[in-house]
Amino acid sequence: MKSLPYFCRGEVIRGFGRGSKELGIPTANFPDCVVEHLPADIGTGIYYGWACVGNGDVHKMVMSIGWNPYYKNTKKSMETHVIHKFKEDFYGETLSVVMVGYIRPERSYDSLEALIAAINGDIAEAKVQLERPEHVKLRSDNFFTSHSSSSSSSAASSSSSSSSSSSQTIINGH
């Protein structure tokens, strides 16, 4: 996928209460304006990368890009599970992510157990992939350090290389 790594950030909004937290796998949702900026070659499926909440630490993440049932599956949704145990929810905070690689397509599961097993497999895969030196580098990209919490609520940018100047190409999400 030529658009990877793909950098974007936006406010964490409420999802549709599909109970991901109850499964032990909460997913932070991005607003439509972030999703609408996704390049065409980033299709639905499961991705791995790095994520940071507000000005906090950068953690590994897995992201699901899927069809949003709220819009009768005509719009995509982007849901990020940050591989870190947070003390509290962070609705309203800015989530910054870099999508680094693709794991697998979306699919449906016969049981909750099968779904949870698949997600845990994705998390394990993300942890391994992100240890590769070219991926570890992205963790300290300027994109994560140059963010000021007073900036606009969403922005997106992409970079075809892991250049540290990615933050210069941020465009306003509106």
Residues 120 and 89: their CA atoms lie apart, in Å, by: 21
Q: Which of 122, 158, 167 is nearest to 140 (CA)?
A: 167
Taking the least distance from each CB to ligand ADP, the nearer of 19 and 43 is 19
Per-residue x/- mask for Mg ion, residues 9 to 48, rule CB under 5 A?
Answer: ------x----x------x---------------------
**Using CB under 6 A, which of 86, 106, 132, 168 touches ligand ADP?**
86
Place of tokens 């990020």: 80
Residue 50 main-chain phi, psi, to 5 deg: -115, 150
**64: contact with Mg ion by CB under 5 A:** no
**20: contact with ligand ADP by CB under 6 A:** yes
**31: contact with ligand ADP by CB under 6 A:** no
The catalytically annotated residue of 11, 22, 36, 79 is: 79
* Cβ-closest position to ligand ADP: 15
DSSP 71-130: GTTSSEEEEEEESS--SS--TTSEEEEEEEEEEE-----SSHHHHHHHHHHHHHHHHHHT
Q: Is 88 a catalytic residue?
A: no
Taking the least distance from each CB to ligand ADP, the nearer of 58 and 159 is 58
Place of tokens 């940071």: 52
The encoded tokens of residue 171 equal 């465009």
- Interacting residues with Mg ion (CB under 5 A): 15, 20, 27
Kindly list the catalytic residues: 79
- Interacting residues with ligand ADP (CB under 6 A): 12, 14-18, 20-21, 26-29, 81-82, 84, 86, 89-91
